[in-house]
Amino acid sequence: MTTLIERFLRYVSFDTQSDHTLATCPSTPGQTVFAKQLQQELILLNLDDVKLDSNGYLTARLSSNISTRVPTVGFIAHMDTAPDASGQHVKPQIVENYQGGDIRLSDTEKLSPAMYPELNQLQGQTLITTDGSTLLGGDNKAGIAEIITAIAYLQANPEIEHGDICIGFTPDEEIGRGADLFDVKGFNAQWAYTIDGGPVGELEYENFNASSADVICHGVNVHPGSAKNKMVNSMGLAAKFQAMMPADETPEYTEGYQGFYHLNAMQTSVAKTTLHYIIRDFDETGLTHRKAFMQQQVAALNNELGCERIEVKISDSYKNMREMVEPHAHIIELATQAMIECDIQPDIKPIRGGTDGARLSFMGLPCPNIFTGGYNFHGIHEFITVEGMEKSVQVIVRLAALTAKKYQ
């Protein structure tokens, strides 16, 4: 039987980075290639209703093995990896029985407990790292491998009673589109869990309210040899605007329930510079205040300049799923119990980001988030533990069994 780690190592070999600049769905062809591979695997597992639609959404169902009708539970993961670091030619490295200290990834990169103190808690475990040049792809190919391994385990152990289990793999989650074309009605689950979290024990049903903002600075380009009193360098305007933003309200200075402004990209020239921000706050009122603050800063800079050279375009991305999940407290209670029965201490905490689950919860599918066992997603220092991945599989299996037991 294909093992969890064999699956994971095979999956990360697929280049599935999404691209927000492209309007197609999936945004990149590599996601379609990967989806077709997964489709064949699900067919070989003899799952029912295996469907891959034209937009790259892959769903399937493991049919109930009990006569009693119980709620259908879903498990969801996304196929794309983040655009933040290369996902091409991923070369995973396996560190068995980690004994502490620095882990050499390449001649120039290392994983160090000095920067990542969580490594101190992982001694004795097996780590899968990058080679220091790409991301790993555990976000979210670990989730996919864990879901499929759990399904295969349930098939191989029919004495574990379960109801219908739906699984779904989505494209373009990393660019905020993962739930755009998800067929909630066709998925036909009463609730679901995204398997898209970090360290063992994470259970999340709160996430940021999220918006994005483009601050566009309009300059005037003149040949530098005759530019005096004529040129207006848009990059200088952009630098002035960024200096007006609160320096301590950025991702590197916030944690827990603290929101932030994050300048995450820019396009620059003398004539025009665009600053791309994401704005995050767990409280919807707080997000409203943050958006208003950015608009006020734009107005203040324009007033200082004496003309309208700065504009801001703000759009909302997703909302905090808490209001949609809390009325269904049993979903969290089941996940908590499953973790405890798997000797895991649940760590219920807010997601300092977003998942497909947030959008799906507002589309009528309550969908908290469960750990994968990974760390440092979106960058070259990403790693995951084998033990954490195995724990995730155990929780999925236990959740399926507990749901059947509770409702029979």
Model pLDDT for residues 81-139, shown as the tens digit of each residue: 999 899 999 999 999 999 999 999 999 999 999 999 999 999 999 999 999 999 999 99
Q: Is 210-317 in CATH node 3.20.20.105?
A: no
Q: Would you say 370 and 143 are in contact if contact means Cβ atoms under 8 Å apart?
A: no
Residue ranges in the chain modelled with pLDDT below 70: 1-2
CATH 3.40.630.10 domain residues, the chain: 4-206+320-407
pLDDT on residue 176: 86
Continuous segment of H or E residues that includes residue 334: helix 329-341
pLDDT on residue 82: 94
Q: What are 244-267's pLDDT values in tens digits? A: 999 999 999 999 999 999 999 999
The rounded distance, in Å, linking the Cα atoms of 288 and 281 is 9
Model confidence, pTM: 0.91
Give the active site residue among 164, 173, 204, 281.
173
pLDDT on residue 354: 77
pLDDT on residue 200: 98
Q: Which residue has the tokens 């029965």?
A: 341
CATH 3.30.70.360 domain residues, the chain: 210-317
Give the active site residue among 41, 80, 174, 390.
80
Give the tokens for residue 210: 């999220």
pLDDT on residue 2: 66
The rounded distance, in Å, linking the Cα atoms of 11 and 145 is 8
Class of the 4-206+320-407 domain? alpha beta
pLDDT on residue 29: 97
**What secondary structure does DSSP assign to 381-408, as a single string?**
T-EEEHHHHHHHHHHHHHHHHHHHHHH-
Tell me whether residue 80 is one of the annotated catalytic residues. yes
